[in-house]
Structure 1
Amino acid sequence: MATTLEFAEFVQETGSDDLSADVRDALKRRLLDSVGIALAAEVADPPQAVYETVTDLEGDGPCTLWRRGERASPVQAAMHNTALVRYLDYMDSYLAPGETPHPSDNIGAVVAAGEYADASGEELLAGLAVAYEIQGELAWNAPVRDRGFDHVTHTVISAAAGASKLLGLDLEATRNAIAIAATGHNALRVTRTGGITEWKGLASANAVRNAVYAAMLAKNGVTGPRNVFEGQKGWQDVVAGPFEVDLTPGERVHDVMTKRYVAETYAQSAVEGIIELAEQQDLDPDDVTAIKLETFAGAKLIIGGGEGNRYEVASRAQADHSLPYMLAAALLDRDLSLAQYEPERIRRNDVQDLLRIVDVTEDPDLTERFENGEMPAVIDVTMDDGTTYRVEKDAFRGHPTNPIRWEGLEAKFETVTEDRVDAERRDEIREVIRSLEDRDVADLTALLA
């Protein structure tokens, strides 16, 4: 059975020297991807509301609010910056059979703690490795979705661990930080069921805010239930059930996927497939009479109608969690990027009509294939004349079996930031991240201000 001490010891024992060259490279790619997405999200309404809330609550602080002119405490900076990373639903995902969290949710917290502590780039990499590893291990070994808890219940633990690393907490303080975070902040799955609201895109920001606050409390001597995982009425009794972990120096980062499209994780293969089919067959959307997607259980449950109506789509938060909308928009526009989530695009009759003929069903064979590491999808598009075109996908570009390397990630970074950041600063951000071992966290945050 996993213990609180086991997690705390892992945080203490994992340093930058323990990270392989491949892990370091993968973590830098995760950082570049997340920073680019954050820069693109600055004008979105919910992150703007977070910014206004943060600046209403406190004045100047030691940490950068990315893309703003103000600074704040590490707690509020973690909240604000994570909202930017997460809101567009373009972030990374960890693929486990029973849970699909977003390890990039940890980045805002770890960077804020690192900026507060005047940490080096080497220390930042160690903290990110800790957070990504714990997030992945919890997703794989202790899924909580079917028990009614949201995956950010894992994030508060992994972010508290990563923040503790950057703050330089000793073993007992780290144990207390994890204990406080895991005891007090277990989020409900209702966030992603029924009618999707804006909280879906902000839940992880709230989780990492709580994580950094827990670490700061522990830094200043507050103790928590030191047996939070293994104790009576503890996390394993109440939240997850018994589980074990096998923690490595960041190797779980290699199981993280990059989103090629602005879409919920489980939609990636299906979206790629329908765009390929539309382009190859030059499909006329006006002649389409039916779209059928066969998919795996998780996709059907979360974005295919298993946890609420996915045909009533009126907002961005609803659109990026609706397979019918995503497939209809992708077929119409031959793309699924930021433009497909503009309010006027969502409301347009062509996509609203087409999404209603999308049928999503679960295939048990595809579920088994997903649990064995694929992300399968089978799509049939039927035309007015009775012709049916089919595409079958095992995975997508960006899946761990077909990862996007530096060239592809830098292209994505350029695409999402070119209207927000000048070319010179974009180059500087890339260079700092690529050479992080020779930099300080402040070198990066200065460029993100």
Structure 2
Amino acid sequence: MTTTDELATFIREVDYETLPDDIVEATKKRLLDSVGIALGAAESETAAAVRETVLQEGRDACSLWATDERASPSGAAMYNTVLTRYLDFMDSFLAPGETPHPSDNVGTVVAVGELVDATGRDLIEATALAYEIQGELAWNAPVRDRGFDHVTHTVITQATAAAALLDLDHEAIRDAIGIAGTAHNALRVTRTGGINEWKGVASGNAARNGTYAALLADNGMEGPKDLFEGQKGWKQIIAGDFEVDLDTSCSRVHDVMTKRYVAETYAQSAVEGIIDLAEEHDIDHEEVTSIDLDTFHGAKLIIGGGEGDRHEVETKAQADHSLPYMLAAALIDRQMLTEQYERARIQSEDVQTLLQTVTVEEDEELTERFEDGEMPAVIDIELEDGTTYHVEKDDFRGHPNTPMDWDELEAKFHPMAATVYGESRREEIIDCIRNLEERHVDDLLALLD
């Protein structure tokens, strides 16, 4: 039976000194990817709104990335997490019934790490354990089909990462998890129907709440220690019965994908496939009469029309959760990055016309392949003269089956961070994270001011 006692025992047992070298390396890759994505979002209107809000709480404890401002620990955790999440360029854990984004934990790890004067090894350890818990909850306790958003998992992992850095004792960790998991369960309506900006901020809110829960526990606040198994508890109301199998080597970090494109997780193979076709055959979008995508259940449900019409696209929040939009824009532009989500691009006539030709169908065989560890996509493009182009994808570059190496991550990092820092500073950030086990949280934050 999964309990707060089991999670607290796991957190106290995870130790940087016993993490395998490949786990340390993979965790540092997650940190680099998350920081780069965050810097790419630093000048967005949504980030500005969150920044102004958290600054109202206080300005003394923790750094807000890419600014010279400071906020409360929970406020900094929220703001920095919004940065990693807002562009929809973050990593994802691929489970059959849930797809959370473990990089949502990084903003909390660094904020609480600053509060406690953490070493780089402390940051790696807290990040790795958060990824492990997030992966196990996603795999064994999916909540999507029960009407809850995946940040319902995230608030628990935020609390565990913060509790580890605060060095809470066993019972206080149980309190922190109990507070976080009882008080902050998000509804799936965040990502259904008419999608709005809260989609990209919900995980930041979870970061704030998870951090605050750990701080409350650190100051002696008791929480429901029977969070999972208790009467009307998490298992009965939120997830149903489940068991986790937590590994103190934190091997789940290897099961996380890195996005190659600024697009919802389940769109990655399809976007890569349509760009491949467009480039190989030099397809003129004005000659396209139809784009047909066969995909797996989750993709159809979330971004293909299963939870609301995805052909009505006017905003970024709608565009990055619309397969019709992403396929149309990717075919025309041969790319899917931040510029494809500018309002003028979204509302332009060419992409609005082409997205209406896109159909998305679920294929049971592709769903089985997804559940077996692939991310399949089958695309057919038909032109006015009857010519048809076809491509089938098993996965994409960045999927756990074909992970990105350091050079590819650096290539992704540079254009994101270039909106804030020059090349020399960017190289310093990369070097700091790549050698984080020999550095200190202040070394990293000095580069992110």
TM-score using structure 2 length = 0.99
How far apart are residue 419 of structure 1 and its match? Answer: 3.1
Q: How far apart in 2 are the matches of 1:31 and 1:88? A: 16
In structure 2, C-alpha distance between the alignment counterparts of 1:182 and 1:153, rounded to whole Å: 7
The residue that corresponds to 2:380 in the other structure is 380
Once the 2 structures are TM-superposed, how far is the Cα of residue 93 of structure 1 from its aligned partner? 0.3
User: Are positions 1:179 and 2:162 aligned together?
Assistant: no
Residues 167-219 of structure 1 show CA distances to partners (whole Å, capped at 9, x for unaligned) of 11111111110110001000000000000000000000000100000000000
Work out whether residues 164 and 177 of structure 1, in 8 Å CA contact, stay in contact via their aligned partners in 2: yes
* 1: CA distance, partners of 2:183 / 2:264: 28
Q: What does 1:38-437 correspond to in 2, within 5 Å?
A: 38-55=38-55, 57-248=56-247, 249-437=249-437
Q: Deviations over 1:103-161 (max 9, x none)?
A: 00000011111100001111111100110000000000000000000000000001100
Post-superposition offset of 1:290: 0.4
8 Å contact from structure 1 (residues 47, 80) kept in 2: yes
User: Residue 322 of structure 1: CA displacement?
Assistant: 0.1
CA distance in 2: counterparts of 1:27 and 1:374, whole angstroms: 22
CA distance in 2, matches of 1:331, 1:385: 18
Q: Does the 8 Å contact 2:54/2:72 carry over to 1? A: no
Q: Is the 8 A contact 2:134 2:153 kept in 1?
A: yes
Q: What is the distance in 2 between the residues matched to 1:4 and 1:252? A: 20
Residue 247 of structure 1 aligns to a residue in which SS?
A: coil
Instruction: Tell me if structure 2 keeps the 8 A contact 1:4–1:230.
Output: no
Alpha-carbon distance in structure 1 between the residues aligned to 2:43 and 2:430: 22
Q: Deviation of residue 422 (structure 1)?
A: 1.2
Aligned partner of residue 433 in structure 2, secondary structure: helix
Residue pair 2:339, 2:345 contacting (<8 A) in 1 also: yes
1:18 is displaced (CA, Å) by 2.1
Distance 1:153 1:227 in 2: 17
Contact 1:131 1:159 (8 Å CA) reproduced: yes
Distance (Å, rounded) in 1 between the aligned partners of 2:321 and 2:419:
26
Return the offset for 1:275.
Answer: 0.3
Question: What is the CA-CA distance between 1:231 and the residue it aligns to?
Answer: 1.1
1:445 CA drift (Å): 1.3
SS where residue 326 of structure 1 aligns? helix
CA distance in 1, matches of 2:90, 2:262: 9
Partner of 2:2 in structure 1? 2
CA distance in 1, matches of 2:294, 2:146: 26
Give me the whole-angstrom Cα distance separating, in 1, the residues matched to 2:60 and 2:256.
33
The DSSP-based 3-state class of the residue aligned with 1:290 is strand
Q: Which runs of 5+ in 2 are unaligned?
A: none
**In 1, Cα distance between equivalents of 2:246 and 2:431:** 30
Aligned length: 448
Shift of 1:407: 0.5
2:356 alignment partner, SS class: helix
Superposed displacement of residue 425, structure 1: 1.1
The answer to whether the Cα contact below 8 Å between 1:180 and 1:214 also exists between their aligned partners in 2 is yes
Please say which of residues 58-67 and 341-350 is displaced more in the overlay.
58-67
| Superposition RMSD in Å | 0.7
Percent identity over the alignment is 65
| Conserved 8 A contact 1:41-1:88 | yes
Residue by residue, what CA displacement relative to the aligned partner does 1:314-342 show, whole Å, maximum 9, x if unpaired? 00000000000000000000000111001
What amino acid is the match of 1:7?
Answer: L
CA contact under 8 A between 2:66 and 2:420: conserved in structure 1?
no
**Partner letter of residue 123 of structure 1?**
D
CA apart distance, 1:351: 0.2
Within the alignment, does 1:23 sit opposite 2:23 as a pair? yes
Distance 1:174 1:209 in 2: 17
Task: Provide the C-alpha distance between the structure 2 equivalents of 1:419 and 1:113, rounded to a whole number of angstroms.
Answer: 26
Judge conservation of contact 1:8–1:174 (CA < 8 Å) in 2: yes
**1:393 CA drift (Å):** 0.2
Q: In 2, distance between residues paired with 1:419 and 1:406?
A: 21
Amino acid at match of 1:38: A
Rounded to whole Å, the distance in 2 between the matches of 1:176 and 1:448 is 33
Identify unmatched segments of 5+ residues in structure 1: none
CA distance in 2, matches of 1:394, 1:434: 30
Query: Following superposition, which runs of at least 4 residues in structure 1 exceed 6 angstroms of deviation?
Result: none
CA distance in 1, matches of 2:10, 2:442: 26
What is the Cα deviation at residue 73 of structure 1?
Answer: 1.2
